[in-house]
Chains A and B, each alone.
Chain A
Amino acid sequence: MSPDAVVIGGGIIGTCCAYYLARSGVKVHLIESGALASGASGACEGNILLWDKQPGIMLDLGKASAALFEETVPHLPFSIEYVKKGSILAIERREDLGAVDRFVRTMQGEGVPCQTLDLSELRQLEPNLAEDLGGGAVFPDDAQVQPMLAVLAFAQAAMDHGAVIQPCTEVKSIVVSNGQVAAVETSAGRIRTHTVVNAAGAWSKMIGQMVGVNVPVVPRQGQIVVTEPVANVVRRKMMEAAYTQTVESDDQSLQIATVVEHTESGNILLGSSRQFVGFDRSVDMDVVRAIVTRAIRFFPCLKGIHAVRTYSGLRPFPPDHVCIIGEAESVKGFFVATGHEGTGIAFGPITGKLIMQMIAGQTPDLPMEKLSPTRFGRPGSPAASGANAR
């Protein structure tokens, strides 16, 4: 039996697409070259944040997706450790508190609950923060999930709605006939379909190349340090205010933005780096040292806690910092859902829903123009090379 749609990629984006498609009655078949959650989704922090989203389409996506998490989590087949624990933004120097306050007002104006904190208010919320910081802000609605469980839960929920999920299956080629997707050739045989969703994360450029569609994402590595389980060092997610500058930066060199947070299991995650090193997932001890040093600057009590593991993931980085969701211009039925970089978990549900709406011929919940892959042009065109040059 030929499915209505084939989703390529078993991370959060692919499994959310499969879930929303299956739930709306589309016969969907997801293929994944390795195991579910074996890419960026299995090597991240599970952040569902609003504070780091630029007002405009990115914040709109964030708000819509956060609401979808709240709505969906109770219906998933098992717990994904969803906690609306809030974020703390901390700054080192008191002089920067004015800038934080302006930022907080902007976000309040956008309808995001948040509040500026002086140092004593900050330390009241997070007593283990260093005594000589400059203050910060709190965003109480930010949330967290265990990302691997989230992927597995959306996959299971999709299967419960009739989706087929097939790991260990590689895409060999995509057959296009008269400008329309006709089939996907896989290591496990040919699947006839008129619709393909490219949700291959850091590898989605290669899938695009199979049909001549420009998907200019590159892998951007992020490293994380995991500690032994301990009690209550940090109650919320603590982030250094420079985090967005780091994520928004195009700088090719190493960037560190401090993130300190507990998981539900008691381990503390220390993040994170942003570095362009191709598809290399090995951990660099110099980067680890930089992450740990910075984390101790904010939480001196971390010094005596043990690290048990380090890991890295490859985030799909788009040249203009906006994720890519929509149908290709040149190949009918070829949809792209990628380029979420560090916000894939947060944007999973809204991406899945928008893809479902476009495929099912419904009106998408959000304007799609700025997200469309057509903004990059075809490979070799001026628009395409301009995008690649950044």
Chain B
Amino acid sequence: MADGGTGLLICRCEEVTQEEIEEAIREGARTVNEVKRRTRAGMGLCQGKTCRRLVERMVAEGTGQKLADVQPSTHRPPVRPVELGILATVGED
């Protein structure tokens, strides 16, 4: 947690605070993906389903972009966590 910060968690899975995300934006992150690379926000179990919107808004506010112009994060399968044992048999008869 940054000194004097509130410690407010934005990404609960990876325990990333508001201050850490603000710092990443100050250091030049202009997209949700860039915030993620710098802080791990959105890299956890829920893959950003909880924090994505908040991070988008923080990026918009911190960089002066319109919310609609902020590049959304990349979505990749699976949509929710899947056991590897099940993934190994997807599509098999």
Contact = CB atoms under 8 A, between A and B. Distances in A.
Q: Do A and B bind each other?
A: yes
Main secondary structure of the interface of A (DSSP, over half): mixed
Contacts of B69: none
Interface in A276-330: 283, 285-286, 288-289, 292-293, 295-296, 302-311
Contacts of B76: 283, 309-311
B37 A152 contact: yes
B88 A285 contact: no
A302 B84 contact: yes
Contacts of B53: none
A21 B41 CA distance: 32
B87 A228 contact: no
B33 A285 contact: no
Interface in B8-58: 28-31, 33-34, 37-38, 40, 43-45, 47
Contact of B30 (A35, A228, A270, A296): A35
A99 B57 CA distance: 57
Contacts of B82: 306-307
Secondary structure of the B side of the interface?
A: loop
A148 interface: yes
Interface residues of A, number: 33
Nearest to B40: A265
Contact of A292 (B31, B45, B81, B87): B87
A303 B84 contact: yes
Chain B interface size band reads: 20 to 34
B83 A304 contact: yes
Given A307-B78, A310-B78, A289 B33 contact: no
Contacts of A168: 30
B67 to A, nearest CB: 18
A74 interface: no
B85 A304 contact: yes
A168 B69 CA distance: 14
B90 interface: yes
Given A152-B37, A308-B47, A285 B84 contact: no
A283 B47 contact: no
B91 A285 contact: yes
B90 A289 contact: yes
B53 to A, nearest CB: 19
Of residues B29, B38, B87, which shows the largest number of chain A Cβ atoms within 10 Å of its Cβ? B87
A165 to B, nearest CB: 8
A43 to B, nearest CB: 10
B64 interface: no
Given A306-B82, A308-B81, A310-B76, A285 B47 contact: no
Nearest to B48: A309
A232 B10 CA distance: 28
B37 A167 contact: no
A35 B83 contact: no
Given A265-B40, A305-B83, A35 B88 contact: no
A295 B84 contact: yes
Contacts of A186: none
Nearest to A303: B85
Contacts of A293: 88
A38 interface: yes
Contact of A296 (B34, B44, B88): B88
30 contacts: A35-B29, A35-B30, A35-B33, A35-B37, A148-B37, A152-B37, A225-B84, A225-B87, A228-B81, A265-B40, A283-B77, A285-B90, A288-B77, A288-B90, A289-B88, A289-B89, A292-B88, A295-B84, A296-B85, A296-B88, A303-B84, A304-B84, A304-B85, A305-B83, A305-B84, A306-B45, A308-B81, A309-B47, A309-B77, A310-B76
Interface of A: 35-38, 42, 148, 152, 167-168, 225, 227-228, 265, 270, 283, 285-286, 288-289, 292-293, 295-296, 302-311
